[in-house]
Structure formats: C-alpha cells, structure tokens
Structure 1
Amino acid sequence: MKQLSDDWFALGPSYYRRLTLYKPTLTNLQNSNHFLISIGGCGGLIAFLQKPKQSGNSLLIITTAAGKLFVETTWKDAPPVAISWSNSEELVVVQKSGYATMLNLNGTFNRRFSFGKDAENSQIIDAKFFTHEGRTAVAVITGNSQIFIATSLERPRILAVASELPLVNRPFVWQVVSSPAPGDFAAFKGPWILLAFEKYIHRLGVGKAIKIDVQNPGGQEIRFSNYHRLALSPNEEMVALYLDCSVLRVFSLVSGGGLEVRMELDLSARAAALGGGISDNNRVSTLPSGLVWLDNSTLALQWSNFVVVVDMEKNIYELFYPSLVHIQPEIDGLRVLTLSSHEIIQRVPHELECLGRIGASSPAVHLFSAYREWLAGSGRAHEFLRPVLTSPNAAREMHGAVAACLRAAAHCAPTSTDAQQNLLAAAHFARGFLSLLLAAPSAKNVDCSMIDSLSEMTIQITTILRLLNSLAVEWVGMALTWKQFESLGPSTLLDRLLASKHYPLAVELVHTYQKLPSKIPEHIQVRRSGITRILCHWVKSLPLSQSASPGDAVNVTLARRLSAIIDRCGISPGTDGGVCFATVAETAISCGQTALAERLLELEPRVASQIGLLMRLQRYEQALSRAVQSGDMDLLLAGVLQPLLEGSDARLEPTALSMLLRKHPIALALYRQYLEGNANFSESRTLPKGKLASQVLAVLQQEVDPSLATQRTVREAFASKDPAQRSDILIRAKDAYHQMKLDFLAHVCYV
C-alpha cells in the first residue's frame, strides 16, 4: 500500500509535498521564454501570449491545466506588456499603448480602459497585478517614469503615485502593497508602491514618496549594485529581496515605515552551481529568474530549470526539472509549469501531516495503521487498536480518529485517489468499533449525536471528493485541492464548467450541493438556480433556428434533446431545486429559438410566468386558454385581455379578436363586464383605452347581443345636455326596443 508521505519532502521541521497534476505536451511552446504566461488560479486555464515580434502578429494560446488546447488565435492589438487572469475569470492584457484589454475565456474581446493620456503618450513599460478589496487591480509604470494604479478592472479609478525616480533603462524592482502601511501615513492607506531602485528602497504613495534606510545586520556592509528580485508575502507583512551579489534578504514591514531584517542568506555558491541561464547579453547569469512566496514563511527561487525552496530558518530544498520552468503563486502553494509537467508545491495540510509524518502518534494514526494491518491479514491490527480501545475516553478518541481520517482524505485530492479510498475505508472500518464503544456503560456521558455528525461529515466529504476526482481527469483539466475548491466557490466553478461546455459535470456540481445541507447563500443559490443556468447556457450555445415551426426536423430534434436533458437532470419542475423554465424560455426567445421556447413554456408550472412570454411570442390563443384554465380572473384580465385589446402593439384584426374571445365564454364575459364597468364610472364616451378595443366591442355587440348597442345609445342620451338631441336619441332607442320586442325597455324610453 502506498504511504501517505511518498510525495513529501522535509524542509526543517515542516513537510511539503509535490503534487503532479498533469503531464502536458506543449509541443508548440518549445521556447517558453518567448511567451508571457499566466496560470489561472484554482485549476484555471493557462494563457500563453507571444511577446512582441519585429514583424507579424503575436500568437495567443489558451490551454487547460492539463495542456489541452482550448483556444488558439492571433493577437492583432498593441504589443502586450503583462497578462494575468482576473478574479472574474477574464484574461487581462496590459498593452504598451496605455490600455488594459479584457478578454473572455474564449480569447474574444470584452472591454478595455485607458490609464490616461500620459500613459498613452509615453507608453507603458511594466505592469503588476494585485488584489485590492477582493477585486483584481493593476499598476503600471510609463515611459516617463510615472506610476498609475487602477484599483478595479470593472470600474477603473486611476490613481497617480508620486515618483521622481528616473526608472527608464535603469534596474529596479517593485511590487504593489494593497493593505495600509504600518504607521500614520495618509498617503499609504490605500494601494501603495514598494520600489527598490539602485541601493535604496522607496515607499511611493498618492502624493508622497519616502526613501527607506535599511540597516545591515551586525553592521556588516554588503557590496552590491542593485536589487534583482522583489517579492511580497501573501499576508503583506514581509518582503523578500534578492541582491545582485546573490544574497537573499527578508524584511518585515514595521510601524513607522521601516524595514526590519528577518533573515539573510548568502546563495552565491549555490547560485553559481545552479546558474546556467542565458541573459540578454549572452553571458552566463547566476541570478534567479523568479522569486515568489510559497506561503507566509517559505520562499521559492527559480533558475531556468531549478526551483529552490527556502524557509525562514535557512533550510533549503532543491528541485530539478528537465526543461525551463515557470512558477506562479497559488492560494495554497506554488504552481510549477514546464513543457512536460504541471505541479503544485505546497505545505502538507495539518490534517494530513498528523497521520503521515515520521513518529506521529495519535488515535487516528493507530486507527489507520490497524486498518492497513487488517487489510494485509495481519494479527497486529489489534495491537494498534488496543491503545484506543482501552483508553478511559475510548469513544471520544475513536470519534476523533474517524473524523481525522475523513479530513485527511479530503486533503488527498486531487492526485492520490488510493490514499482517499484507504482513509475513507479506515474511517468506515472504525464505525463498528465506535458503535460498540458508545453502547458500553463507560460511555453513558458521551453524546450519541456524534454518530450523526460523522454521518453528515462522511456524506459531505465523499460527495465532494467524487466531484473533485471527476474534475481532475485529463480531458476536463480542472484539478483542485480541497482548499482551492472552498476558495473558488460553486458559482465560479459552475461558470467555468459552462464556459468549457462540460454540461454533465455542471449538473453533477449542482447535484452535489443539493445533497449538502449548507446554509451559505452562494450554495443555496447554486442549489436552487444551478440547473436553470445550465439550460440557459445550453440554449445560448445552439445555432440559430431557421424555422419557427415546432414540426421542423431541427426543432423536433431540439425538443427531444431538451427532454433527454431534463430526464438526465432528474429534477421535477416546481420543487425547491427545480428549474425555472420561464427564465430558460425567455433566453430562448432572445436567441431566436421560438419553437424551443414554446416547448419550455409547456414545462413551466407557473401560469403567471407563462402568460407574458406567450404574449411576446404572439401565441394569443394559448395565453388566453391557459389564463382561463388557471381560474385567476386578475391574471386573465391584466395579463391577457388588457394587453391584447388595449396594447399599442396588438396585431390581430377586430373580427379575429372577437372570434378568439367567443371561443372562451369566461374571457368574453369578463371583458364585457370590464367594459361595462368602465362605462358606468366614466364621464367620457370612450369606454376602453384603445381604438382596437372599441372596434372589437362593436363587433361583439352586433354579433352576440344587439341590445347592448341600444343600451349604449340610452346612456349617450342621458349624458347629453341638449334636450332636442336627447329626445331624438331616445326615440331611436324606443323604436329599436320595439323591434326586439322589449316593450318594457321601450316604455322607459318615452320622453
């Protein structure tokens, strides 16, 4: 059986692990130095944008994390300076021309914004991406040494940073700090710049610049010309600087604006051995090409195809790769990308380290060891279980051991499915012992609801692990660790799956959260509207239908596919986790899929949601019929009759409308009542609001009940203030009633 620590390495007292996610074959990127590279966080896509060439356009290649080609297109815009994936899953390209352009996952244009006229005129020479208040932001340096910060990509607000340093064609390194600087400095409350220029370090804020003096530890003077690399820790409390004399220094940001040296390490001998990269002037360079923080206490340095991991206690671990390396920080470690491998280096999660580290001793370790011995058919299994079973708190210790195995299994995702299975099996193995321990007299003060909590934890972890293992397969290419999965959130993950058109996995994601009793608002939203979002995206991806007839072969095929999808989703309409077919139908109407929209409206159980869309589709008879069947008179009147007869966009002739109303006696009677009610309370002669409604009323009065016209004549007579006109009208009404043999009403009309 594979050991939990097979892919671990020790760095001082801590353990780190190399997770080999994929082994891509990037044959079209043989020289990655010619590309700007950005790896999407939490298993996102990888973008390769070719650096500007002397002639011709650059190439933009987007692949999955497994190296599978997603998009390949030509970059025809201004030369790029830097690229990065934003928190909203957009590819941001900072251009030399002074603009930042946002592309969607398919590499097509979304929008852009300018950093101002100064940036456009002097051009951008460098850019840095950072996160500010949960949003992706970017800072740029222009050709005249000005610095601008866009605090948000959605609503960019450009800040000008104070700087008088001549940065053009001079060596400098810099980074953006998004948190307020220690000390009482109003200029450094928002994003500010930490810049190392020549031998000095500067803090640059909005309207203020400060030069920081760095004291050498022990009073020793280090000879160097400039700073070569700068990296800011994830918590923005420490900064690492690599000097051109191959000395690594780590400072902490202290109150008052100073820098306090926390660690200094001379890497000159090691750098000479690891060097071998070729610099711009074709001489051998011993300086690293990358410096990033792996976590808040560990750094990673890169030399061409070497990665060196260093902690604050000066412990060092070297990793060799057969080809050039690109490193990029991840939320829980460091991503290492080569032409033939994609790895994550991270500190071993505490839940897993407790079970796998050398010399570990705990109830969970005893349980896991006992399970492995039992699986091998060894009698030593009982020896490992004895310390737990004979403990005075045996039930509590066994409960903790089962929970520890479950949590450790969660952190084995996404690479080690064998370890997941073994840890889950060990937890299941212990459930029988736990039931016996809870039934023992010594456990009378133990809460038996612990079994229920373990059951809920088991369901949650196994359900999510099943999803993570499905996402990690090579043809999907979205390998996520447990922490990345929690950080990404289901809504963003669902959008990512839909953009890749992995509809079955999107359905599995929604089903996963429907099984979990989570009360987090984002989880509830995905649980309730996830299937609706999937269907809306599927409708948008369909080619435009050439025929609106439901009997058309293409529309029949779409209807069958829709039925198959609904069956596959396994969710009936109207339930808490059901589908809002009206929303999907509205999307279908906007995409020109009218026949599909009609089919979707047939599945919508809420009549009120159907009526408005049927009116948009000009399916007046269906709208009238369903409104009558609902028994809701307010809906029938306000949703169908009034828009149908009084709307400015009604397209039926009066006779056709009257025939339509005669097919539904309830609707006809209701509309007559509505018109007559308006007549009783109206001082004007115009009863309804539209000319079409008056024409329809006249047709109905002539065809159905002639006495209604005479009644209207009598009302007109009594409304008239001219006695002669009133007398003439009443005489005509009397004659009409006599012809209809309504003598009583005729007698009323005598003047």
Structure 2
Amino acid sequence: MAGVSVAAEWQLLYNRYYRKPELYQMEWKQVDLTRNKIACAPFGGPIAVIRDDAKIVQLYAESALRKLRIFTSSGRLTAETVWRNPGGRLIGMSWTDDLTLACITQDGTVYSYNIHAELLGTFSLGKECFENSVVECLFWGNGVVCITEAFEILAVPDFKMPKTVKLADCSLEELPHCMAVIEPQYTKSGDVEVLLGVGDHVLLVDEDGVQPLADGIGPLQKMVLSRKGEFVASFTHDGRLLVMSSDFSKEFIDYTCESALPPDQLAWCGSDTVLLYWDDMLLMVGPYDEPVRYIYDDPVILIPECDGVRILSNTNMEFLHRVPDSTVSIFQIGSTSPPALLYDALEHFDRRSAKAVENLRLIRTSLPEAVESCIDAAGYEFDISQQRTLLRAASYGQTFSSHFRRDSIREMCQMLRVLNDVRHVDVGIPLSLQQYKLLTPSVLINRLINAHKHLLALRISEYLGLSQEVVIMHWTCTKISASTAIPDATLLQILLDKLKICKGISYAAVAAHADKSGRRKLAAMLVEHEPRSSKQIPLLLSIGEENSALVKATESGDTDLVYLVMFHIWKKRPPLEFFSTIQARPLARDLFVKYARCYKHEFLKDFFLSTGQLQEVAYLLWKESWELAKDPRAKGSSLGPRIKLIEKASNLFAESKEHMFESKAAEEHAKLLRIQRELEVSTKQAIFLDSSVSDTIRTCIVLGNHRAANKVRAEFKVSDKRWYWLKCFALATIRDWDALEKFSKEKRPPIGYRPFVEACVDAGEKDEALKYVPKLSDPRERAEAYAKIGMAKEAADAASQSKDGELLGRLRQSFSQNAGGSSIFDTLRDRLTFQSLS
C-alpha cells in the first residue's frame, strides 16, 4: 500500500515521527559550503555565499576576486557583485526580516545589500569597534550583538534605526566560550539581553547590568535559544546536551553524547527537539528515548524554521520536521483510524471495489473528522501527487457527510496552489503550510515582487483577491529603471497597458519614480494621466512643469492648489515673467491680488503698473496714507509722506477720464490735510487732522476762529445751506446766543429758522428758541416747535391753522401727561371733525 512506502521514510523519536523530504537538488555548481561563508534567510528565503577569507582554499578555476553571490533556496544564481573588502575581514553576515543582507567587517562597518546584491548603505558600530576589532557577532531578526577584542559587547537592536547600544561591562579577561541572544520582544525589559558562557557559569548581560546564572553548570561550549526564547539548549565541556528554561531554573533534557567535542552547529527543530551536527553526523535529541542519527558525507548547514529545520548541503536541500498528527493517523503502518480508512476507501473506489462502501460504513459517525484530517494532511505534503490524492479522499468523504464545513477543501486547494507555485525550482521558496500562515500572503507577495517575480505575484494577488496595485506599481518602477534604451513614447504605452489593470492607481507616484530615474519627459507624460489634482500638481512642479501645473490647478478650482503653484512660480521666476504668467489666468490673478493686498503692497503695485492698472496703484497709495495715519509711532512725522502719497494717487487717477472724480477727491484730501496741519500749528491743538471739512469748520467756530472757518468754507466751496447748519449748531454748542441771533439776522437764512429752534432746544434753552419760533412760516413747523418747548395753547393755535388731523394726534400724544394740554387738542380735533362732516 501507498501508506507503507510513505511511513517507511519516517524516523521515530519516542512517540513522535519525523521525516526529512528532499526539497531541491541544488542547481548551483562548485559551491563548497566549507570554503564559503553562508547566510540563509528563513521562510525559504535567499542564500548569500562569499568565499571565507579566514581559510586558505584552492581556487580551482575561480577568479581570485571575491564575489558576493545570491542564490534562491533551489541554488539558482540571481545576483552577484564583487566584494571589495574595504573594512577588513568579514566577521559575519545574515538576512534581516525584510531580506536585507547585513555584513559586518572587522572594523565594525555594517554593509547592507538587497537581494539583487546592490549596496543599500553602510553605517559604523562606533569607534569602539574601529579601535578594537570585532571578533564575533551574533545576529537575530533585525539586530546583532558584537564582541570586540577589548571584550566590549555592543548591540544594534534594529537595523532599520541603526543605533549602537553598549551593554554593561562584564569585566571579561578572555572571550566567552559561547553566546546567545534573547530578542527584545521576549524580554521583560523590552531590551536585548545576552547570555554568555563564561567559566563554569552563565552571565545575563543587558544595558543596565550583569547577572550571574547557573553557577557550576559549565563550561558551556555551545548555546542556542528556542525560537520564542523560552528554552536554552547548551553543550557542556564534558559532552552533555542540556535543555533548560532560559533563566536556567528548570532542566528538561540532560543527554550525554558519544563525543565530548563540541558540535559544529546546534539548532532547534521546532520546539520539541534539538539538532547537533558534527562533521559527518546529525543527531536529533528529544526529551525521551534514544536520539535519531542521520549520516552525511557532505557538509551541511542547518537553517531553523518555525516548524523544523532546513538542511542545506552542497548538492541538495531537505526539510526535517515532525510528521503532523493527521498524516500519522493516515499513513502509520497498520493504522485503522477513520482518516486511514477514508484514504483506503478512495483506493478501493478507484479499483471499483465494494470494500470502499464497507470502509465508509465503518467510519460513518467519524466521517467529518476523517475528512478534516485528510485536508490537513494534504496541507503538510510537499509532493503534489500526494496532495491531490489526499484532497480527493477528503472530497470523496465529503460526499457522504452532511455535517462538514464545505469551504475547507476550497481554502486548502487555494493555499496549496500558491505554495506549489512558489516552491517551484524556478522560484525557489520552499514554504511549508505553517510558515506560509506565519509569513502571511501579503508578505510573500512583497518578497516575490522584490525578487522581480511580478507576473507570479500578480497572478497570486488576483487569485487570492488581494490588491494588485502594489505589484503593478513595483513592476512599473522596475520597468522604468531597467528600460533605459526604450523611447519614452513606447515605454509610456507599455506602462499604461499595465497600469489600467488597477483602478485608482497613483500615476503621480509612477511619474515621480520616472523623474528620479532621470526621465523627466516620461514623467510629464505619465502625470497627465493622474486624475487627482492634489497628486498631479505637486509632481508637475517638481519636474519643472509650472505652466501645466497652473493650468491644472485653475481648472480644478481648488484655491489651495492654485496658491501652491502660484507661490512656487513666484519664488522661481522674475517679477515681470511671474506677472505675465498669472495675468492670463483670472483665478490665479485674483487670488494673487487678494493675498498681496494683505501682505505684499509693493509687489502688488509693481503688478498693477506692469498691467497698466494705474487707478489700482492709486487706490493702494491712498490706502497706504491711511495706514500711516493709524500708526501711533509715526503720528507726528507721517503727514508729509501721507500728503505725497495722496498727491501721487491724484496724479495717477488723473491719467484716466473715468477716474477724474477720484483724482479731484484725492487732491482736495491733500489740501484739507495741509489746512488742518496749519490750524493745529496756529491753535496749538492736535484736534484737526483727519476730520472732515464740516468738522473742521465746526471746530474753528467753536474755538472762535471765524476767519479760519470762512477760509475753509471758501477753499472747499461749502454751500450756504451747509454753512448755516454748521455755524448755527456750532454757536449753540458754545452757547453764544447773541452771536447766534446776530447770525440769524444777517440775511434770511437759506435753511430757514427751524435749525435755530432745534439748536436752542437741543441746548436746553427754550427761551432762546422762542425768539425764532414765530419766524417759522409753516404752521406745522411752528406747531411742532411750540410743542417741543411745552407751549400747548400756542402749539394748538398753530396746528389749527394747518387743519391737519394727523398733526393734532401727534401733538396730543406729546402732551398726554398734561391733562389741560390734552383737552385743548381734543377740543380742537372735535371742531375740525365737525367742520369736515358739515
């Protein structure tokens, strides 16, 4: 049976089975692991290879020039570059979580390469490493710990933010026998902690101090932590493997090995077993029972994964991992579990044997669990034919089961199709199901596009229902960088054919990359396809397309964007060129004028002069004169400059027939200011400036300076009516009643005598008012005047002459508090009413 052949490859360790399927026959040639430094990325990532300069090796047909080479996990060369070795001997290298290769040289310089062997940058670990060379380094995830010749311990917790941290001084006199790192994410303090095998004990070192642990346990020759930092496996000087808790308080495994020589490599296989590798033997030790031994003729490198260990040799790559329970239940020799019977039923069904129905009848109640086990086992298989058989068994069982989640098979098929595609030798990413789930599909797609597997990444994204935008964007940017020989118009069409796959994709971002790549014309053509003005316009500015940006901004109607473009052009171009640019765009012009009116008067005047708008310049000058008047610091000294500004405004207004009124008004304003300054000098009172002509005349009369008042009247041709009003109330203000009476008799006032009455009444002088009331010719005015001074009978007599009932009603209302006065108006109104009826 098929189950016998499958299980025959397994190794039993206590009560758990392990298997070691081959993932690839390596495609590389003449790569000897013993002659090179090797860095293998987890999750089926790339392999970095560089000749080890610490060893004397025979070069064969190789160049003496050292090269850093990048391979896929299947051994296919993807990139290489010459290693210049500027910082001394290479101490160590490792892949970070985002697949950046960090290489540390003897002088403490860290070189970062991407998966295409392109140097991304360098940084130094500090002067300590430069003065005292690095002798050992230990990587984890995104960080590294180094020891110098002076026994100083330095750490970089995160390569993304390369900051060197110096750990506490351990007072070491010699290098530690071994070292292990507890990652910051698994420590209580959140900082990196280092375990050092020193003498017969262990030191726990961090930034704040040193703590001795496990006194008498050593000397320890090798030490390695489990993936999550809960356990530490160590190899002692007397040939024992110890597995303890990371604080060395509990012991779980104490196994005495056949050799006291320390293993070349010590690694965890999942969280259950520990692997020890010597020259020709790989030993797998578990908590119970005898270990499992594997013999190798070639050297191997152990690559720990979350669910096992990949084993790399010169010729192939294998994956050592625990056999899942679902697989054991199906393929274990002699198994009669429901999943095994279901798998057997499919085989009988294919042979058209009635025993298939018998098997189904036996597991009728356990059929849903059997189907789930077949699906689960299919997920852990690397052999595609075995996956297909297990899924067919699940589908066969599902037909006879009503209590089953129908999407399980579809979801597993979906995951396996993705896994099988990336495991292909051409791609070389041998992910297991558990690794795939932990890595996540989005990260896998990012790794594919970084490896320039864009088509596969696009198909997987489409298949899984993920956004294709990130794939298209990366492909587009890569295409632009790589297609230097393709004309811009041709390349544009190629890019547009792909970009239209994703609606809403940022053409501006692609155009920005084209600009950075030195293809400004292509960037300009690309940005034309960007529908979002907020993305399009800043890019147009960055590539020097200011005119196009201004057109787009004004068409969008977004004033913020117009201001953005306008300020950019304003800063870059000469004033006259800037003025001509915005003059052609009404929205931009109006926004500029609005802004400049508030903040840039001088610049705005230049704009108006350049466009022939002299009256606008005049208005600005006039406004500046008023601004000078408001400035308390220049109150006394600003009059001369103010008058000059107003005269300039008058002259500019005079250039246009349509603004002759404004020109005359500005001229008279300047004249008035001069007169007011003379009045302030002669009267020694600062009360005239910026008052009106009327107020100036009134103030002169109040001060008794009638000559000055007449001069102002003559200068500004004040009418007789206005003059009489002003002088009448001014004399009443200073209570010069004789002068007021004399003034009223000079000639018949053109305004009549009513203002005289009102001026006296307002001043509270009713007797003075009586001098002018009889002179009122209109009986209505006379009646109202008598009413104001409280003379009811006289008001009634005057009102009776007007025969105005409405007037009588108003006057009666004004005497509502006076019973006698009210009765007079009532009698008079009754009489008028009777006369009108008869």
TM-score range, shorter chain: 0.7 to 0.9
1:585 touches 1:597 (CA, 8 Å); kept in 2?
yes
1:464 touches 1:512 (CA, 8 Å); kept in 2?
no
Deviates more, 1:7-16 or 1:228-237: 228-237
Give the corresponding residue for 2:515.
589
Give the corresponding residue for 2:71.
63
Of the three residues 170, 173, 176, the one matched with 2:178 is 173
Q: Structure 2: any 5+ residue segments left out of the alignment?
A: 57-63, 626-641, 666-838
Amino acid at match of 2:388: Q
Of the three residues 494, 500, 517, the one matched with 1:561 is 494
Determine if the alignment matches structure 1 residue 233 to structure 2 residue 226: yes
**How does 1:21-32 map onto structure 2 within 5 Å?**
21-30=23-32, 32=33
Determine if the alignment matches structure 1 residue 423 to structure 2 residue 390: yes
Give the corresponding residue for 1:222.
none
- Label 1:192 to 1:433 Cα distance change in 2 as closer, same or farther (>3 A): same
Residue 334 of structure 1: CA displacement? 1.0
Determine if the alignment matches structure 1 residue 712 to structure 2 residue 616: yes
Residue 543 of structure 1: CA displacement? 4.7
Give the corresponding residue for 2:570.
646
2:615 touches 2:653 (CA, 8 Å); kept in 1?
no
Q: Secondary structure at the match of 1:44?
A: coil
Determine if the alignment matches structure 1 residue 506 to structure 2 residue 465: no
Q: Secondary structure at the match of 1:603?
A: coil
- Label 1:113 to 1:615 Cα distance change in 2 as closer, same or farther (>3 A): closer
Give the corresponding residue for 1:343.
318
* Superimposed CA distance per residue, residues 505-526 of structure 1 (whole angstroms, 9 cap, x where no aligned partner): 22234324425xxxxxxxxxxx
Q: Secondary structure at the match of 2:42?
A: coil
Q: Structure 1: any 5+ residue segments left out of the alignment?
A: 216-224, 272-284, 392-396, 439-449, 516-526, 546-552, 662-667, 702-708, 738-744
Of the three residues 252, 258, 262, the one matched with 2:252 is 262
Give the corresponding residue for 1:670.
587
Give the corresponding residue for 2:235.
242
The CA distance in 2 between the partners of 1:511 and 1:710, in whole Å, is 65
The CA distance in 1 between the partners of 2:111 and 2:577, in whole Å, is 52
Of the three residues 9, 12, 23, the one matched with 2:11 is 9
TM, length-normalised to structure 1 = 0.74
**How does 1:118-267 map onto structure 2 within 5 Å?**
118-131=128-141, 136-153=142-159, 154-168=161-175, 172-178=177-183, 190-197=191-198, 199-205=200-206, 206-210=208-212, 212-214=214-216, 227-253=220-246, 258-267=248-257
- Label 1:315 to 1:540 Cα distance change in 2 as closer, same or farther (>3 A): farther
Q: Secondary structure at the match of 2:482?
A: coil
Give the corresponding residue for 2:715.
none
Q: Secondary structure at the match of 1:29?
A: coil
2:563 touches 2:588 (CA, 8 Å); kept in 1?
no
**How does 1:259-298 map onto structure 2 within 5 Å?**
259-268=249-258, 271=259, 288-298=263-273
Amino acid at match of 1:534: H
- Label 1:314 to 1:92 Cα distance change in 2 as closer, same or farther (>3 A): farther
1:94 touches 1:100 (CA, 8 Å); kept in 2?
yes
Larger Rg: 1 or 2?
2
Residue 59 of structure 1: CA displacement? 3.9
- Label 1:105 to 1:143 Cα distance change in 2 as closer, same or farther (>3 A): same
The CA distance in 1 between the partners of 2:243 and 2:399, in whole Å, is 52
2:554 touches 2:562 (CA, 8 Å); kept in 1?
no
Amino acid at match of 1:427: A
Give the corresponding residue for 1:281.
none
Determine if the alignment matches structure 1 residue 383 to structure 2 residue 383: no
- Label 1:628 to 1:363 Cα distance change in 2 as closer, same or farther (>3 A): farther
Q: Secondary structure at the match of 1:541?
A: helix
- Label 1:6 to 1:604 Cα distance change in 2 as closer, same or farther (>3 A): farther
The CA distance in 1 between the partners of 2:77 and 2:575, in whole Å, is 51
Q: Secondary structure at the match of 2:465?
A: helix
Deviates more, 1:62-71 or 1:44-53: 44-53
* Superimposed CA distance per residue, residues 176-235 of structure 1 (whole angstroms, 9 cap, x where no aligned partner): 3347999xxx9x9854443334554444555334263347xxxxxxxxx95443333334
- Label 1:602 to 1:724 Cα distance change in 2 as closer, same or farther (>3 A): closer
Residue 626 of structure 1: CA displacement? 4.5
The CA distance in 2 between the partners of 1:610 and 1:181, in whole Å, is 46
- Label 1:388 to 1:607 Cα distance change in 2 as closer, same or farther (>3 A): farther
Q: Secondary structure at the match of 2:572?
A: coil
Q: Secondary structure at the match of 2:521?
A: helix
Of the three residues 263, 278, 282, the one matched with 1:303 is 278
Q: Secondary structure at the match of 2:515?
A: helix
Give the corresponding residue for 1:35.
36
Q: Secondary structure at the match of 2:655?
A: helix
Amino acid at match of 1:18: K
Give the corresponding residue for 1:433.
400
2:324 touches 2:380 (CA, 8 Å); kept in 1?
yes
The CA distance in 1 between the partners of 2:620 and 2:262, in whole Å, is 100
- Label 1:120 to 1:726 Cα distance change in 2 as closer, same or farther (>3 A): closer
Give the corresponding residue for 2:471.
531
* Superimposed CA distance per residue, residues 442-495 of structure 1 (whole angstroms, 9 cap, x where no aligned partner): xxxxxxxx65xx33x444433332222121111221121122222323454344
Residue 333 of structure 1: CA displacement? 0.9
Higher relative contact order (CA 8 A, sep 6+): 1
Give the corresponding residue for 2:656.
733
Residue 23 of structure 1: CA displacement? 0.8
Residue 345 of structure 1: CA displacement? 0.6
Percent identity, please.
23
The CA distance in 2 between the partners of 1:336 and 1:646, in whole Å, is 65
Q: Secondary structure at the match of 2:412?
A: helix
Determine if the alignment matches structure 1 residue 369 to structure 2 residue 344: yes
- Label 1:676 to 1:80 Cα distance change in 2 as closer, same or farther (>3 A): closer
Question: Normalized per residue, which structure has more strand?
Answer: 1
Could you say what the CA RMSD is over the residues aligned between the two structures, in angstroms? 3.8
- Label 1:728 to 1:149 Cα distance change in 2 as closer, same or farther (>3 A): closer
Amino acid at match of 1:45: P
The CA distance in 2 between the partners of 1:554 and 1:332, in whole Å, is 50
Q: Secondary structure at the match of 2:518?
A: coil
Determine if the alignment matches structure 1 residue 613 to structure 2 residue 539: yes
TM, length-normalised to structure 2 = 0.67
The CA distance in 1 between the partners of 2:240 and 2:462, in whole Å, is 53
Residue 259 of structure 1: CA displacement? 4.6
2:615 touches 2:652 (CA, 8 Å); kept in 1?
no
- Label 1:651 to 1:344 Cα distance change in 2 as closer, same or farther (>3 A): farther
Number of residue pairs matched by the alignment: 633
The CA distance in 1 between the partners of 2:445 and 2:106, in whole Å, is 34
